[in-house]
């Protein structure tokens, strides 16, 4: 996970805690995650973590916010003036055909945490925010393409939700099953959907 801060929202100490949390989640998963384990990874006392966060769940809610901030910073700096290319870029970041190890690990961490949102209201609120922000990002690219005459005149919200639902389903399949070809098949199908739904024919 990138550590470059897009603004002053996260202090150096908080970023270090987020990185330690991420590494601990990779090794132990949510079920065996503990403040002690994060503190060991950080090389500091539990008191150093409790200075910033009241509980493990409080820390994890912050971690989710940190993760989506980093994603949004990456997307905003890498998108440009071409809606077609920007949409392909966002889809590739969300659902890479051949994810590198870091992408695969991050997806597994987020899927593991999302499962807790069924009964954990703070997690549910944070994942609601994450999905809303992603859908908004995709919808804004589509709307820009419509305004510029690059995309057909469609409902940007409807298409964005379809894209996000496909991405989420494929991400869960990749993280929770051994169906190795399913995410790639979903990505190809998603590309066909985008072509038929958005792109003007010559």
Q: What residue ranges define each of the domains in the chain, with the CATH number in brackets?
A: 1-57 (1.10.10.60), 79-198 (1.10.357.10)
Chain Cα centroid distance, residue 99: 14
Distance of alpha carbon 12 from alpha carbon 18, whole angstroms? 10
Q: What is the pTM of this model?
A: 0.81
Question: pLDDT per position in the chain (202 positions), as tens?
Answer: 444 444 568 889 999 999 999 899 888 888 888 999 999 999 999 999 999 999 988 999 899 888 777 766 766 656 678 999 999 988 988 888 887 887 788 788 888 888 889 998 988 988 898 899 889 999 999 999 999 999 999 999 999 999 999 999 998 888 889 988 888 999 999 999 999 999 866 5
State the burial class of residue 89 (Cβ atoms within 10 Å of its Cβ: 0-12, 13-18, 19+): middle
178 phi/psi in degrees, rounded to 5: -100, 20
> 108 has which bridge partners?
none
What's the farthest any 2 CA atoms get from each other in the chain?
Answer: 63
């Amino acid at each position: 996970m990138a550590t470059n801060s897009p603004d002053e929202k996260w202090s150096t100490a908080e970023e270090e805690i987020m990185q330690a949390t991420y590494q601990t989640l990779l090794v132990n998963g949510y079920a065996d995650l503990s403040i002690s384990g994060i503190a060991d990874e950080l090389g500091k006392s539990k008191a150093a973590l409790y200075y910033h966060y009241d509980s493990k769940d409080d820390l994890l809610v912050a971690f989710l916010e940190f993760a989506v901030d980093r994603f949004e910073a990456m997307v905003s700096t890498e998108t440009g003036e071409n809606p077609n290319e920007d949409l392909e870029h966002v889809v590739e970041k969300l659902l890479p055909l051949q994810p590198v190890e870091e992408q695969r690990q991050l997806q597994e961490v987020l899927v593991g945490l999302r499962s807790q949102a069924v009964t954990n209201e703070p997690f549910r609120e944070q994942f609601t925010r994450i999905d809303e922000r992603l859908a908004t990002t995709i919808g804004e690219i589509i709307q820009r393409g419509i305004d510029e005459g690059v995309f057909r005149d469609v409902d940007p919200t409807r298409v964005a939700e379809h894209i996000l639902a496909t991405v989420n389903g494929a991400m869960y399949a990749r993280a929770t099953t051994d169906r190795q070809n399913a995410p790639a098949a979903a990505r190809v199908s998603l590309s066909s959907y985008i072509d038929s739904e958005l792109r003007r024919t010559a």
